[in-house]
């Protein structure tokens, strides 16, 4: 699968959080997040492993209760079923890979 970037089609699952799955295969998918300053990604967990890259901005990422300051170029990997959340400090863009597929993130 190959996709050209299209700035349209982002979903807003949580106020201040926009997301779009860019591409997916049989076992993983790649999602782009636009995160608004002051927004909060609530505590949650899911069975998928999640690996991320901070493109721009700044956020405080909490993994198993430990805080990390994510800035451009920083990366993370969160095993499945691990509680995590984030506080968005600046308008930010993050790219994340989920494996196995998150059915709820597949384009409709």
Q: Considering the domain boundaries, does residue 6 fall inside one?
A: no
Is 85 a domain residue?
A: yes
pLDDT means per 10 residues in the chain (108 residues)? 93 96 96 98 97 98 97 98 98 98 90
- pLDDT of the residue at 57: 98
Q: Do 95 and 52 meet the contact criterion of CB atoms below 8 Å apart?
A: yes
Number of domains, the chain? 1
Both tokens assigned to 6:
């299209």
Question: Which domain, by its residues, includes 98?
Answer: 15-105
44 inside domain: yes
Query: Is 34 part of a structural domain of the chain?
Result: yes
* 100 in any annotated domain: yes
CATH number at residue 80: 2.60.120.10
On whether residue 3 sits in a domain, the answer given is no
- Give the per-residue pLDDT at 107: 86
pLDDT at 1: 87
């Amino acid at each position: 699968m190959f996709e050209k970037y299209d700035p349209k089609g982002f979903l807003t699952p949580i106020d201040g959080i926009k997301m779009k799955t860019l591409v997916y295969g049989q076992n993983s998918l790649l999602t782009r997040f636009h995160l608004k300053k002051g927004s909060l990604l609530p505590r949650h967990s899911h069975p998928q492993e999640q690996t991320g890259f901070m493109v721009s901005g700044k956020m405080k990422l909490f993994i198993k209760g430990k805080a990390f300051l994510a800035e451009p170029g920083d990366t993370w990997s969160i095993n499945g079923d691990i509680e995590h959340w984030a506080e968005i400090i600046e308008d930010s863009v993050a790219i994340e890979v989920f494996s196995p597929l998150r059915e709820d993130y597949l384009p409709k």
